[in-house]
């Protein structure tokens, strides 16, 4: 079953002479349980696709279907129980004056859960943080710990699809592998589907089953991970990208 189906997606910013076409006619699908990567240089439109899916980029045309339901420009509340997003910068995505307990508890309440205390403790355990982190604030956490809290928050509504926007690029190299391994474990444990944006092909090779290569807002090629590892790309830009990663 397809978890996500994107067809002929166009995303733009501004209007008339100021209009910038950030994504042009993008088409791809992500199967249930799959991890799918979007790769390309900065400004190629990767993150914009994630933002169009979540509603953070309001100007788009085309078709976006999640779990067989075509979404409109106004997302119903139920959409955010199915789809959640992990942002690049965990410090910016957490409220500096809210404790970890508030961050997770308010998210759970928003989605109608009752047994808040039990669920907060379980969420912290799921991301490798103990109860002693529960009443800390973002400034008391390392970058890796903050990203674990951000991941716990996305897990709170029990989603099926996680959108991962460069989830390790703002972290120290020493903790990047820890977060990637955590995400891989969570995908298996919770039977999650991932759509992951990255400029790092080694990350995509480790995390993804298939990937789409983007250039100037367009998808130029879709590869499986074996083709990536074997440097077996057809499009010249994809081949150049692979060579540059060696």
Q: Domain spanning 2-89+160-245 has what CATH number?
A: 3.40.50.300
pLDDT at site 246: 66
DSSP characters over 94-113: S-TTS-HHHHHHHHHHHTT-
In whole angstroms, give the CA distance from residue 51 to residue 34: 20
Which residues of the chain form beta strands (DSSP E)?
Answer: 2-13, 20-31, 35-39, 60-66, 69-70, 83-86, 161-165, 193-198, 210-215, 218-224
Reading the chain (246 residues) residue by residue, the pLDDT tens digits are 999 999 999 999 999 999 999 999 999 999 999 999 999 998 999 999 999 999 999 999 999 999 999 999 899 889 999 999 999 888 788 999 999 999 999 999 999 999 999 999 999 999 999 899 999 999 999 999 999 999 999 999 999 999 999 999 888 888 999 999 999 999 999 999 999 999 888 899 999 999 999 999 999 999 999 998 888 999 999 999 888 876
pLDDT at site 173: 86
CB 234 within 8 A of CB 221: yes
CB 149 within 8 A of CB 90: yes
Extents of the domains making up the chain: 2-89+160-245
């Amino acid at each position: 079953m397809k978890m996500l189906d994107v067809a002929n997606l166009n995303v733009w910013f501004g209007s008339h002479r100021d209009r910038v076409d950030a994504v042009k006619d993008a088409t791809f699908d992500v199967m249930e349980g799959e991890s799918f990567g979007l790769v390309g240089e900065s400004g190629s439109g990767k993150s914009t696709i994630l933002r169009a899916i979540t509603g953070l980029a309001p100007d788009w045309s085309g078709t976006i279907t999640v779990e067989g339901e075509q979404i409109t420009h106004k997302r119903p509340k139920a959409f955010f129980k199915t789809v959640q997003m992990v942002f690049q910068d965990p410090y910016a995505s957490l409220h500096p004056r809210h404790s970890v307990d508030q961050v997770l508890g308010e998210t759970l309440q928003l989605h109608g859960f009752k047994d808040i205390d039990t669920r907060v403790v379980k969420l912290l355990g799921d991301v490798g943080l103990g109860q002693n982190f529960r009443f800390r604030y973002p400034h008391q956490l390392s970058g890796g710990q903050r990203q674990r809290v951000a991941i716990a928050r996305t897990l709170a509504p029990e989603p099926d699809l996680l959108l991962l926007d460069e989830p390790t690029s703002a972290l120290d190299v020493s903790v990047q592998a820890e977060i990637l391994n955590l995400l891989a474990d969570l995908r298996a444990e919770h039977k999650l589907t991932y759509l992951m944006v990255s400029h790092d092909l080694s990350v995509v090779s480790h995390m993804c089953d298939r990937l789409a290569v983007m250039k100037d807002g367009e998808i130029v090629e879709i590869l499986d991970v074996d083709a990536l590892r074997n440097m077996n790309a057809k499009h010249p830009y994809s081949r150049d990208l692979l060579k540059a990663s060696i």
